[in-house]
Amino acid sequence: MKLETDIKKIEELTRQNEGEDRRYRCLLEGCGLTVEEIDAIVHRHYRAVSEQIECRECKNCCKVFRPLLEVRDINRLADGLKIPREAFMAEYIVKYEDGQGHFFKLTPCPFLADNGCAVYADRPDVCRAYPNLLKTGFVSSISLTFSNCSVCPLVYNVYERVKSEICERRFTTLSSEDE
């Protein structure tokens, strides 16, 4: 399967596939595979795709997301920048409206530089984990994964490969039941 890396095309394809993807999510939940089997398929495709796409070249997630920051993230970033926590908070951080959590004031990320993340060693935990495809429980986070398809070439390509494999398995299973 050809990899798509053009973010504009990925955004367009994601919009075009929205109805199909809703049906796929239902199929995924009833495909007869265990959560662990589905996770293994996702992890296998993630490893294959990530060997061909360098995550840090795109930087689209840094351009569109304002990640939820934990206290440890804020402390690590302030320490890494060698500025007092209060000064860091005043310059870069705002609270969520409900007061539960913090995020960067601006998008794109204030630490996005031409060559990538200016605070890469100290980046927030949510940035370290993104695109979250090596976690367990793919089926339970399918809506989040789909919403990330239009943002991340890795997510889009893994999602499309998993979708293709699951649909092919389901078709093969249905065909053999008919015989």
Q: What string of pLDDT tens digits covers the 179 residues of the chain?
A: 789 999 999 999 999 988 777 777 777 777 788 989 999 999 999 999 999 998 888 899 999 999 999 999 999 999 999 999 999 999 999 998 777 789 999 999 999 998 789 999 999 999 999 999 998 988 888 878 888 999 999 999 999 999 889 888 766 655 555 55
Residue 1 lies in a domain: no
Give the pLDDT of residue 171.
62
Rounded to 5 degrees, φ, ψ at 117 are -80, 120
Give the pLDDT of residue 28.
76
Burial class (CB in 10 A: 0-12, 13-18, 19+), 168: exposed
Residue 2 lies in a domain: no
Pair 118, 155 in one domain: no
Residue 74 lies in a domain: yes
Of 156, 161, 162, 158, the closest CA to residue 60 belongs to 156
Give the pLDDT of residue 175.
52
Give the pLDDT of residue 172.
64
pTM of the model: 0.86
Give the pLDDT of residue 178.
52
Pair 42, 70 in one domain: no
28 half-sphere exposure, CB direction, 13 A CA radius: 27
The C-alpha atoms of residue 162 and residue 175 are separated, in whole angstroms, by 20
Pair 49, 69 in one domain: no
Residue 22 lies in a domain: yes
Q: Which domain holds residue 30?
A: 7-54+134-178
Q: Work out how many domains the chain is built from and give that number.
A: 2
Give the pLDDT of residue 123.
97
Give the pLDDT of residue 176.
53
Residue 27 lies in a domain: yes
Structure tokens, 44: 């296998």
The dihedral built from the CA positions of residue 88, 93, 152 and 33, taken in this order, carries a sign that is positive
Residue 168 lies in a domain: yes
Pair 125, 73 in one domain: yes
Give the pLDDT of residue 77.
98
Pair 124, 80 in one domain: yes
